Amino acid sequence: TDRRISGFKPTGALQLGNYLGAIAPVVRGQHAQPTVVFVADLHALTVPHDPHRLRELSLQVAGLLLAAGVDPRRSVLYRQSDLPAHAELHYLLECVAGYGEVHRMIQFKEKGGGSGTRLSLLTYPVLMAADILLHDIAEVPVGRDQRQHVELTRDLALRFNERYGPVFTVPRAVLPEVAARVADLADPTAKMGKTNASTNGVLFLLDPPDVLRRKIMRAVTDAGTEVGYDPERKPGVSNLLDLLSACTGEAPERIAPQYHSYGSLKAATADAVIAMLEPIQRRYHELTESDIETALEQGADRARERADATVQRVKSAMGLSRHT
Ligand code: TYM
């Protein structure tokens, strides 16, 4: 059966887009499909960071993944920097990737280019490709913002296989049906993100219920008064409908006619989000640091064998080390 992988960058606290776009789909799928989940701490070094805070955030991300239902007996959950194979495959794939195709990535165009831009921000998608290809992955559940990076991963896998022989499984991105791009509540044209400049429109998984409610009640909506699902013309209202839909499982088009004012839609969305996050927050606060560290260490032990075997195959195919 098809193996899946999902990664989370500890550059800030996890937010609802992370949950709906990737965590929830991974948790739902882990009983049917072998699953790898990891804290992408090497990726967090691509931007300025405080080392102490990075270590804390890595643990927080891992703890929230456990609290959200990642089952460490079923899924392999680990911290990227505990497995040297990521960095080793990253370099080998840099010898397959082209400067032009990496430079064209939308996220680099948006975030990079200024003075002080780290070289690692440019090569970031190649590290992401290494993360995926290391584990013979077929499916990558991600939000829409990561789709282009998975496309690049496909291109690199196909090119490698053509050039050096069939070494890699060729993966594809899997996007959720709703909430593939949760928007910032204060600016529905922007993506909800861990590191958005203002946190007014970002629902963090660990925000207390009153904070969640306040942010949702103050969400920017659109002209008019009618609740309708139209992401192009009514991005604010449609974003709320997406959130409520993701919480209840009912399609946004069917939810819309049930509400006759923006206020009642917001109140229902707040109730649903708070109810969904409450058990996750409770389980998170029950976990100790050593519970989390133990899970991560055991996960790395389980991930190591396959990762090392992949690197060996790659090196051998490329003419490095002893032929196997
Ligand atoms: P990151 O940490 O930014 O986000 C983690 C996951 O959450 C999704 N996501 C969203 N989905 C819907 N709406 C949003 N507003 C939203 N914001 C974030 C992301 O698409 C992602 O699935 N490069 C990755 C981490 C990574 C990775 C990997 C992922 C590194 N290696 C290998 C998968 C496979 C990132 O920055 O995700």
* Residue 11 counted as an annotated binding residue: yes
With H, G, I as helix, E, B as strand and everything else as coil, classify residue 189: strand
Task: Return the H-helix or E-strand segment holding 201.
Answer: none
Examine the pLDDT at 317 and tell me if it is beyond 90: yes
> For residue range 24-42, what is the model confidence (pLDDT) as tens digits?
999 999 999 999 999 999 9
Distance 42 CA to ligand 1 centre (A): 14
* Residue 182 counted as an annotated binding residue: yes
Q: Using alpha carbons, select from 27, 19, 6 the residue that is nearest to residue 178.
A: 19
Examine the pLDDT at 324 and tell me if it is beyond 70: no
Distance 237 CA to ligand 1 centre (A): 24
Percent of the chain at pLDDT above 70?
99
Higher-pLDDT residue of 151 and 110 is: 151
Its pTM surpasses 0.95: yes
Please report, for residues 41, 83, 269, 273, 319, the alpha-carbon distance to residue 310 in angstroms, rounded to integers and kept in the order given.
21, 13, 45, 41, 14
Atom number of ligand 1 nearest to Cα 124 = 23
Catalytic residue status for 109: no
Q: How far apart are CA 132 and CA 141, in angstroms?
A: 11
| Site to substitute for ligand 1 among 3, 4, 5, 8, most atoms within 8 A of C-beta | 8
Examine the pLDDT at 111 and tell me if it is beyond 90: no
With H, G, I as helix, E, B as strand and everything else as coil, classify residue 283: helix
Catalytic residue status for 266: no
Atom number of ligand 1 nearest to Cα 43 = 30
Q: Pairing mode, if any, of strands 183-184 and 172-174? A: unpaired
Residue given tokens 């991974």 in the structure block: 26
Please tell me the residue having the least CA distance from ligand 1 atom 37: 8
Examine the pLDDT at 286 and tell me if it is beyond 90: yes
Examine the pLDDT at 115 and tell me if it is beyond 90: no
Instruction: Considering the candidates 109, 191, 215, 234, report the single residue annotated as catalytic.
Output: 191
* Residue 9 counted as an annotated binding residue: yes
| Site to substitute for ligand 1 among 18, 199, 242, most atoms within 8 A of C-beta | 18
Q: How far apart are CA 198 and CA 193, in angstroms?
A: 10
How confident is the model over 172-200, as a mean pLDDT? 96
Atom number of ligand 1 nearest to Cα 143 = 20
Catalytic residue status for 191: yes
Atom number of ligand 1 nearest to Cα 15 = 17
Question: CB–CB of 16/243 below 8 Å?
Answer: yes
Q: Which residue ranges have their beta carbon within 6 Å of ligand 1?
A: 5-9, 17-18, 21-22, 40, 43, 128, 131-132, 140, 142-143, 145-146, 179-182, 191-193
**Which residues lie across from 38 on neighbouring strands?**
7, 78
Distance 8 CA to ligand 1 centre (A): 6
How many residues are recorded in the chain?
A: 324
